[in-house]
């Protein structure tokens, strides 16, 4: 399995001959190394409906005939845009040909704003547990710290966790470091920071606070070392 980070909350996974993108916010993401026209995902996994996470999903999915896995209400909206979707709910899991996906709680919001300014209810936000090739990856999406992260870690031994540290809209470095102590991943990668002025953070501060896992601070395009 190959796991790479691409700025903001964008994660790419290559496994079982498939390529998966999580939260493919590419256009408008000044930190990413990706180009929409060069990406060829087989599947796209979405944590929630905010525009900086849905990103370029519709274009990518329609051009590449990719399957979009998303929380129920967000999936329903994307289906109206001509996208092939698989609806899921918090706590539910499903075994795909590229791996197993399970949605967890996330404490955040989830609305999508169209180009015409229409506000779409995108349902509940979530985190994603992705399992393949004997490894489990946790992408927390946008979330606050919450106590049931311990339950997630107890129920699902996590190899790599992607946690937001940007503060203001999500956990900051201190809360994210405490989340690591609850989740107990082997490796943790900070995400969702420095894309916009309001979420500027020093990831080295986060690394200093983490005592329970190996921290990998990745530049866009760099791969996780497992």
Contact between 65 and 84 under an 8 Å Cβ cutoff? The reply is yes
- Position 211 scores a pLDDT of 94
Is the dihedral angle over the CA atoms 98, 99, 100, 105 positive or is it negative? negative
Whether 222 is in a domain gets the answer no
Whether 224 is in a domain gets the answer no
Q: What is the pLDDT of residues 184-194, one digit of tens each?
A: 999 999 999 99
pLDDT band at 103 (very low <50, low <70, confident <90, very high): very high
- Position 71 scores a pLDDT of 98
Whether 67 is in a domain gets the answer yes
Structurally, the chain folds into a number of domains equal to 1
Residue position matching structure tokens 């989740």: 183
Instruction: List the CATH number of the domain containing 90.
Output: 3.60.15.10
**What are residue 93's DSSP bridge partners?**
102
Q: What is the pLDDT of residues 40-52, one digit of tens each?
A: 999 999 999 999 9
**What are residue 45's DSSP bridge partners?**
22, 69
Helical H segments across the chain, by residue range: 51-54, 57-64, 72-80, 149-155, 173-183, 203-209
Whether 54 is in a domain gets the answer yes
Whether 140 is in a domain gets the answer yes
42 CB-near residues (< 8 Å, 6+ apart): 18, 19, 20, 64, 66, 67, 98
Domain range for 92 is 2-215
Whether 221 is in a domain gets the answer no
Whether 45 is in a domain gets the answer yes
Whether 103 is in a domain gets the answer yes
Give 168: exposed, middle or buried? Use CB within 10 Å, 0-12, 13-18, 19+. exposed
Q: Of the candidates 53, 146, 60, 139, which has an alpha carbon nearest to the alpha carbon of residue 103?
A: 139
Question: Percentage of the chain with pLDDT > 90?
Answer: 98
Q: Which helix (H) or strand (E) holds 3?
A: strand 2-5
Residue position matching structure tokens 């996208």: 83
Q: What is the pLDDT of residues 139-187, one digit of tens each?
A: 999 999 999 999 999 999 999 999 999 999 999 999 999 999 999 999 9
**Region 212-218 average pLDDT:** 97
């Amino acid at each position: 399995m190959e796991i790479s980070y691409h700025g903001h909350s964008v994660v790419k996974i290559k496994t079982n001959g498939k390529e998966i993108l999580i939260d493919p916010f590419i256009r408008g993401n000044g930190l990413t190394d990706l180009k929409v026209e060069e990406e060829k995902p087989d599947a796209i996994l979405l944590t929630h409906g905010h525009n900086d996470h849905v990103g370029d999903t519709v274009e990518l999915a329609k051009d590449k005939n990719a399957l979009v896995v998303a929380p129920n209400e967000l999936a329903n909206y994307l289906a109206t845009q001509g996208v092939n979707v698989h609806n899921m709910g918090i706590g539910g899991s499903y075994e795909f040909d590229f791996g197993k996906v399970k949605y967890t709680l996330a404490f955040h919001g989830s609305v999508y704003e169209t180009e015409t300014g229409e506000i779409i209810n995108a349902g509940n936000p979530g985190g994603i547990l992705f399992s393949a090739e004997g490894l489990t990856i946790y992408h927390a999406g946008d979330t606050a710290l919450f106590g049931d992260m311990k339950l997630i870690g107890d129920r699902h031994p996590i190899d790599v966790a992607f946690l937001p540290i940007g503060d203001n809209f999500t956990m900051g470095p201190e809360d994210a470091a405490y989340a690591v102590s609850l989740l107990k991943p082997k490796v943790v990668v900070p995400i969702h920071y420095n894309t916009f002025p309001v979420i500027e953070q020093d990831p080295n501060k986060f690394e200093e606070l983490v005592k329970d896992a190996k921290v990998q601070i990745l530049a866009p395009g760099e791969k996780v070392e497992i």
